[in-house]
């Protein structure tokens, strides 16, 4: 690549390579398609893994621990002496990365500068500082804000505005309806526009260039999420942000595409040769509100049947493990202050459900008969996805869980207004006190592979 100015190339999703004066750094390196199990690159690409293994980066920065930003299977392709700078509050992630063989692993601190050759990289505070971070990158006289997929509070916005002027902002362009698709019958279809709050924040930052960033993916081709999960298109982003910032240039960077940024503006640069576009790249999102979601039984038929041992693990969890786990979970909202009957429906590969009823009373849970009382909460999930959560660290956004998709008694319906979908008992049992399950499952596979490869 041309070393004059600052070159910025898109890998995928929130992944970028920055190059300046012969130094190269990367952010949120994901070299997988699909990634996070069911996130398929959009537009489609493939990766030349052998070429990636030959890449050398002066540093890699990871904004947070979510598996679409920190994947051990992607990191496994990198030279083990690569300096890794990770923003994470949990020591367990650093230990996992070191077990993978990396020898230069560093914890990032907010507002503490990291210097790498001509680059100064400064983690900035996101709205949820316990989880994620943003990056300010300076090089070649350019000032770039990589928001990753964070939200920004008012205090941080004031700080960032004072750190300008900004030559480029990499801005997340999808709000993603992660919770709404869990209970589609209880959520109105969100409007497809860019949030007014985002437009106000971009006006305050006043960048010369804005890149719609993160969220370059779809789910499986058959998934109804592809019509309901992503409310903003590239075209709408360009239209609305362009109207709000008439002096800014809106720049779409698809995977592999690179540009050189300098005081005069943007210039084309050679693409990343190891990110290979597949098929049409000028694609866009099509949003259809809640998009008539198929039943959980219909969704479950898309997944392969579980083996005998896998099925036994799911059944054991539903019959005994879940009851034990519930007693150790953090309490839900006030809705669960009184006893509730919860029905968990687990659908096999033929779309047939097995129903489990529990009486939830404070911190206690007990398996009961279906006639134990009026239903107060319902959860549906494909058996394959429940197994994946238990054994493979699958995350909530790819599990096709369906919550309270029934009509309850009138009194229960009124009381449900106090509850949030995230209060779901299965969500709390699977994810309430779990950190890094996805990466831990990856590490087990990678270490087992290395062990089996030994003579």
CA-to-CA separations, 314 to 36, 310, 345, in angstroms, rounded: 21, 6, 12
Claim: this prediction has a pTM higher than 0.75 = yes
For the segment 50-91, what is each residue's pLDDT rounded down to a tens digit?
A: 999 999 999 999 999 999 999 999 999 999 999 999 999 999
Per-residue model confidence (pLDDT) at position 333: 82
Listed by start position, the domains of the chain span 6-277, 296-453
Question: Across all residues in the chain, what is the average pLDDT?
Answer: 95
Per-residue model confidence (pLDDT) at position 1: 40
Sign of CA pseudo-dihedral 415, 421, 423, 427: positive
pLDDT band, residue 428 (cuts 50/70/90): very high
Is the separation of the CB atoms in 26 and 57 below 8 Å? yes
> In whole angstroms, what is the distance from residue 88 CA to residue 36 CA?
18
The domain defined by 6-277 folds into Metallo-beta-lactamase; Chain A (3.60.15)
Torsion of CA 7, 10, 11, 13, to 10 degrees: 150
Question: 296-453 maps to which CATH number?
Answer: 3.30.1050
Is the separation of the CB atoms in 239 and 233 below 8 Å? no
Domain 6-277 matches domain 296-453 at the CATH topology level: no
> In whole angstroms, what is the distance from residue 183 CA to residue 167 CA?
40
Is the separation of the CB atoms in 425 and 365 below 8 Å? yes
pLDDT band, residue 432 (cuts 50/70/90): confident
- Tokens encoding 56: 């050398």
For the segment 285-322, what is each residue's pLDDT rounded down to a tens digit?
A: 999 987 789 999 999 999 999 999 999 999 999 999 99
CA 149 centroid distance within chain: 8
Q: Is 82 left (phi over 0), alpha (psi -120 to 50) or beta?
A: beta
For the segment 362-400, what is each residue's pLDDT rounded down to a tens digit?
A: 889 999 999 999 999 999 999 999 999 999 989 898 999
* CA nearest neighbour of 15 among 50, 62, 85, 81: 62
For the segment 246-285, what is each residue's pLDDT rounded down to a tens digit?
A: 999 999 999 999 999 999 999 999 999 999 999 999 999 9
For the segment 165-212, what is each residue's pLDDT rounded down to a tens digit?
A: 999 999 999 988 988 999 999 988 878 889 999 999 999 999 999 999
Mean pLDDT over residues 114-143, rounded? 96
For the segment 309-358, what is each residue's pLDDT rounded down to a tens digit?
A: 999 999 999 999 999 999 988 877 889 999 999 999 999 999 999 999 99
- Tokens encoding 144: 């770039």
> In whole angstroms, what is the distance from residue 197 CA to residue 212 CA?
16
Sign of CA pseudo-dihedral 206, 208, 211, 214: negative
Mean pLDDT over residues 113-125, rounded? 98
User: Which runs of E-coded beta strand occur in 108-238?
Assistant: 114-116, 119-125, 133-139, 142-146, 168-172, 209-213, 217-218
């Amino acid at each position: 690549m041309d070393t004059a100015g600052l070159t910025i190339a898109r890998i995928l999703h929130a992944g970028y390579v920055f190059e300046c004066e012969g130094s190269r750094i990367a952010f949120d390196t994901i070299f997988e398609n699909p990634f996070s199990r069911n996130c398929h690159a959009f537009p489609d690409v493939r990766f030349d893994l052998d070429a990636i293994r030959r890449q050398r980066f002066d540093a890699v920065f990871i904004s947070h621990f979510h598996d679409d930003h920190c994947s051990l299977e992607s990191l496994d392709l990198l030279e083990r002496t690569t300096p890794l700078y990770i923003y994470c509050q949990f020591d367990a992630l650093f230990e996992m990365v070191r077990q993978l063989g990396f020898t230069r692993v560093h914890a990032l601190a907010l507002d503490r500068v990291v210097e790498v050759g001509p680059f100064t990289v400064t983690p900035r505070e996101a709205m949820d500082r316990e989880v994620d971070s943003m990056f300010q990158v300076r090089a070649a006289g350019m000032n770039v804000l990589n928001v990753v997929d964070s939200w920004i509070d008012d205090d941080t916005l004031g700080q960032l505005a004072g750190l300008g002027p900004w030559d480029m902002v990499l801005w997340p362009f999808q709000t993603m309806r992660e919770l709404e698709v869990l209970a589609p019958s209880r959520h109105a279809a969100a409007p497809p526009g860019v949030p007014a709050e985002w437009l106000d924040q971009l006006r305050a930052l006043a960048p010369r260039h804005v890149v719609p960033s993160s969220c370059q993916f779809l789910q499986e081709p058959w998934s109804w999420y592809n019509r309901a999960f992503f409310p903003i298109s590239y075209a709408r982003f360009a239209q609305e942000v362009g109207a709000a910032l008439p002096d800014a240039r809106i720049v779409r960077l698809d995977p592999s595409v690179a540009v050189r940024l300098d005081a005069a503006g943007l210039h084309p640069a050679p693409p990343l040769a190891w990110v290979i576009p597949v098929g049409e790249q000028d694609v866009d999102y099509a949003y259809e509100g809640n998009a008539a979601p198929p039943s959980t039984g219909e969704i479950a038929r898309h997944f392969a049947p579980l083996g005998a041992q896998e099925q036994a693990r799911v059944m054991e969890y539903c019959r005994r493990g879940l009851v034990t786990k519930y007693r150790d979970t953090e309490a839900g909202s006030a809705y669960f202050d009184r006893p509730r009957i919860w029905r968990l429906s687990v659908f096999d590969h033929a779309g047939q459900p097995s129903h489990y009823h529990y009486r939830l009373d404070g911190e206690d849970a007990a398996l009961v008969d279906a006639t134990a009382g009026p239903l107060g909460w319902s959860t549906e999930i494909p058996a394959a996805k429940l197994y994946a959560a238990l054994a493979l660290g699958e995350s909530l956004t790819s599990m096709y869980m369906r919550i309270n998709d029934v009509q309850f008694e009138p009194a229960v319906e009124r009381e449900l207004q106090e509850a949030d979908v995230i209060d779901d008992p299965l969500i709390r049992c699977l994810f309430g006190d779990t950190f890094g399950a996805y990466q831990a499952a990856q590490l087990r596979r990678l270490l087992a592979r290395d062990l089996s490869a030994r003579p």
